[in-house]
């Protein structure tokens, strides 16, 4: 089946620095990718929709200047957490659909810890 | 806006027994898809089963089957012959036919007892 690869799996960064998370569709092209945030023991919360070649669409309450999304190619979307703070520590997951209505494939997730 | 409700935060089942996880949803649309995703301790999201709203027949994937009651807006998951590897968080999800966005329920944590 289709694979979505997310990197890194975990990252620790210092408060005030920026960290980039990559999401790649390995064997299919994805014009749209999605970024989620998951707090411990909670569900996935959609942060933004990443659109290839255009601006991302952010969900209400998500700071677009804090969470920068770039979808520069049909197989790669990146999420950059800028000026990270401890409250940004979370599990971030990306996903992409292979064919409308079939199945959303998810990356392995990235555990971000800001110290 | 569409909502997905999973009323069972936690469930447990004995190995080899059957368990049913509940999910209800609210929508005014006629074209949509419903999914059950499994998230084991590794936190990798895995599709368990998918149901198209226009299909009357309940979807089945090996030990996993759904009871799709469109009028009642109910979409429960039945796991037969439960195995230790079935222990995970299970999320019910809704997708509108005209969108790629998934709306997730809060999840049900399933424990399988040996």
Residues of B in contact with A4 (CB under 8 A): none
Quick check: A101 pLDDT over 60?
Answer: no
Using DSSP's 3-state secondary structure scheme, residue A11 falls into: strand
Beta-carbon contacts of residue B52 (< 8 Å; ≥ 6 apart): A101, B33
Residues of B in contact with A6 (CB under 8 A): none
Confidence of residue B105 (pLDDT cuts 50, 70, 90): very high
Looking at residues A63-67, what average pLDDT do you find?
95
Instruction: Determine which of B1, B38, B43 to mutate to test the interface with A (most A C-beta atoms within 10 Å).
Output: B43
Distance from CA of A115 to the nearest CA of B (A): 22
Q: B27 and B101 in contact (C-beta within 8 Å)?
A: no
In Å, what is the CA distance from B67 to each residue of A38, A75, B20, B106?
28, 36, 9, 19
Contact B100 A108 (CB under 8 A): no
What pLDDT score was predicted for residue B38?
Answer: 97
Q: Over the stretch A14-53, which tens digit does the pLDDT of each residue have?
A: 999 999 999 999 988 888 999 999 998 899 999 999 998 8
Which uninterrupted H or E stretch holds B21? strand B19-21
Distance from CA of A42 to the nearest CA of B (A): 6
- Selected from 3.30.1330.10, 3.40.50.2000, 3.60.21.10, 2.60.40.10, the CATH number assigned to the domain covering B3-113 reads 2.60.40.10
Confidence of residue A1 (pLDDT cuts 50, 70, 90): low
Pairing of strands A4-7, A57-58: unpaired
Q: B53 and B94 in contact (C-beta within 8 Å)?
A: no
| Best CA proximity match to B2, nearest among B104, B113, B114 | B104
Q: Over the stretch B57-101, which tens digit does the pLDDT of each residue have?
A: 999 999 999 999 999 999 999 999 999 999 999 999 999 988 889
Cα angle for residues A57, A62, A65 (degrees, 5° grid) = 80
Beta-carbon contacts of residue B55 (< 8 Å; ≥ 6 apart): none
Instruction: Determine which of A44, A49, A56, A100 to mutate to test the interface with B (most B C-beta atoms within 10 Å).
Output: A44
| Best CA proximity match to A64, nearest among A45, A74, A50 | A50
Residues of B in contact with A44 (CB under 8 A): 45, 91, 102, 104
For A106, name the nearest residue in chain B, comparing CA atoms only.
B45
Contact A109 B105 (CB under 8 A): no
Compute how many other C-beta atoms are within 10 angstroms of the C-beta atom of residue B63: 14
> Dihedrals φ, ψ of B113, to 5°?
-95, 130
């Amino acid at each position: 089946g289709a694979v979505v690869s997310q990197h890194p799996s975990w990252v620790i960064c210092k408060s005030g620095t920026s960290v980039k998370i990559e999401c790649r569709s390995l064997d299919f092209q994805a014009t749209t990718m999605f970024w989620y945030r998951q707090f411990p023991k909670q569900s996935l919360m959609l942060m933004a929709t990443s659109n290839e070649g255009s601006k991302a669409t952010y969900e209400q309450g998500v700071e677009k200047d804090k969470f920068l999304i770039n979808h520069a190619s049909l197989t790669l979307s990146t999420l950059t957490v800028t000026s990270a703070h401890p409250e940004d520590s979370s599990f971030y997951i990306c996903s992409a659909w292979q064919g409308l209505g079939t199945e959303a494939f998810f990356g392995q997730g990235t555990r971000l810890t800001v110290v | 806006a569409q909502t997905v409700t999973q009323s069972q935060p936690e469930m447990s089942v004995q190995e080899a027994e059957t368990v049913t996880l509940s999910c209800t949803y609210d929508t005014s649309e006629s074209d949509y898809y419903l999914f059950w995703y499994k998230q084991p301790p590794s936190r990798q999201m895995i599709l368990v089963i998918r149901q198209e709203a226009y299909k009357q027949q309940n979807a089945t994937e090996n030990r996993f089957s759904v009871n799709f009651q469109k009028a009642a807006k109910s979409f429960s998951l039945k796991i037969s012959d439960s195995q230790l590897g079935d222990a995970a968080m299970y999320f019910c999800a809704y997708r509108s036919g005209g969108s790629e966005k998934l709306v997730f329920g809060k999840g049900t944590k399933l424990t399988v007892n040996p």
